[in-house]
A and B are shown apart, each in its own frame.
Chain A
Amino acid sequence: MTQRLVLITASIMLMLSAAFGAIIMAPPAQAASFTSLSNLKSGDLIRGESFTAVYYYGVDGFRYVFPNDKAYFTWYSNFDTVKWVTDADLTTIQIGGNVTYKPGVKMIKINSDPRVYVVAKSGLIRAISSETVAKALYGTTWNKQIDDVADGFFSNYKIGGTIDDASMFSPTSEKAEAVDINFDKGLKAAVVVSITDTGYSPATLSVKAGTAVKFVNNGTTKHTASDDAGDWGTGTLNPGESFSKYFKTAASLNFHDVYGSAKATLTVTLN
């Protein structure tokens, strides 16, 4: 039987360079121009003016945080395509979560656990059972291809089954399959509910659990979408503003506009 792969050395120092909660970009020249919100496209890399953190703009309309530069560089080789938006615009894009390592590129570990993991789709990590397996997957320099992930980001990952045999994982095909972060995270476009001064459109809708709903104020006055039970709400939306929310569990939800009499029903179904 093979022994569990243990890797305590080599892994220690990396953590401290993993910097703060967001990736820091090399000081770039001032933005040539700002991209307006309406010109942003799914898959764009964006940043604001005051801070250098770069985000991935998902097809669901949320921005996703790169927890550090190492995670960034598994997906991109440089910052050439980063678009600048104004701080005010960046603020209006909600944070959806953290980007995880691109599948297949690197192995990861945390400093308080000697196990070494490969990364599969959607941040699924799988422990490698032995050095022999690691070598078969990543070659003789396998031990130079392990990144330390800070404890605080470990829970961005889910743990899958152990890899006891090299045939159970292919770094090459994992990489090839992970075409972009939208695919990796399984993001889908949000379902839009338009709010006008006469009410919601649609006023009755059904979405699958795990879908984002985007409430857009297309009216001329303030509106909200506020849960009748008080569990969630958009807050006050000025004309042109929007708010998105993921609905993850099956439910029948009634909501209303605190600035008017409009009512609507949202049904969240299991698949």
Chain B
Amino acid sequence: MTKALSFTKYLIGMFGIALTFLIVNSAHAATTISLSAVQSGDLIRGQAFSAVYYYGQDGLRYVFPNDKIYFTWYQNFNTVKWMTDDDLAKIQIGGNVTYKPGVKMIKINSDPRVYAVSEKGTLREIASEEIAKSLYGSTWNKKIDDLPDGFFSNYHFGGRIELATQYSPIAEQKVVSINDDKLLFPATIVRISDAGFSTPTIHVLSGRAVRFINDGPSLHSATEWDRIWGSGTMQVGDTYTRYFDVKGTWTYYSIYDAKSKMTGAIIVE
């Protein structure tokens, strides 16, 4: 049996990785796009900070923890759209983008194991140097990135790669977008108006998101009966998105309206 692939030599370099990834000082934005013009799959940034986000199909923005991860998905910043800081703040953070499958191998500095990346941030340990070489060629050892410990838990483990036939970098790279890699789906939408919730009872699959939109003209909220979760005060036009993972029924109301008039239920199945 082959020895576990160990790689202490390549530990350096971690300190070059900035915590949140910063875009090269670019010329100032010619224009900012409006919130309603942002589309699933767009790259977006605000004005005060240079961090770039991926706008997911679920209406949430996803953080690139560093530039190395960004460059597994994109070659440059040409398509980044600017938004006002106020608008950016209205888009909730959904999570972190993980490495694009197949592009690089990764490791952390307190663990000598080298991992290949598969869909949805699945890490698969590479059992030996021979396998790494047959997957990534003779320069395989230049294709390993160090991932800071603090981002390691964005990944989960899949089966170990004991044979080169168990993994194909080329096939893995065919995932076309971060939406596909994360398997994001559009949120179920509940519109709130002074008349009430548009669809008072909705059914959603476990692991999917619900998005509340306040159409106004008054202030409203979507607040869980026992205040376990809630949107807080929603101004006209504000949205609030939440993922529902556990099966069961949630009841909610608007803190600005009579419970008798405005309640809703989400049945997670």
Contacts and interface: CB of A to CB of B under 8 A. Distances in A.
A112 B229 contact: no
Contact of B49 (A19, A111, A129, A156): A111
A112 B149 contact: no
Contacts, number: 142
Contacts of A231: 158-159
B49 A112 contact: yes
Contacts of A111: 48-49
Nearest to B148: A21
Contacts of A96: 153
A232 B157 contact: yes
**Chain A contact residues: helix, strand, loop or mixed:** loop
Interface in A32-53: 48, 50-51, 53
B114 interface: no
Interface stretch (A160-168, A197-205, A211-219): A160-168
B19 A15 contact: yes
21 contacts: A15-B20, A20-B17, A21-B149, A51-B109, A95-B152, A98-B150, A110-B93, A112-B85, A113-B92, A114-B89, A152-B66, A155-B94, A161-B227, A161-B228, A161-B232, A162-B231, A164-B255, A226-B159, A231-B158, A233-B159, A245-B157
Given A91-B112, A112-B51, A161-B230, 13 more contacts: A4-B233, A19-B19, A20-B14, A20-B150, A21-B149, A22-B149, A90-B110, A95-B108, A98-B150, A129-B232, A153-B150, A161-B224, A236-B160
Interface of B: 1, 4, 11, 14-15, 17, 19-20, 46, 48-49, 51, 63, 65-66, 85, 88-89, 92-96, 108-112, 125, 127, 147-154, 157-160, 219, 221, 223-224, 227-233, 242, 255-256
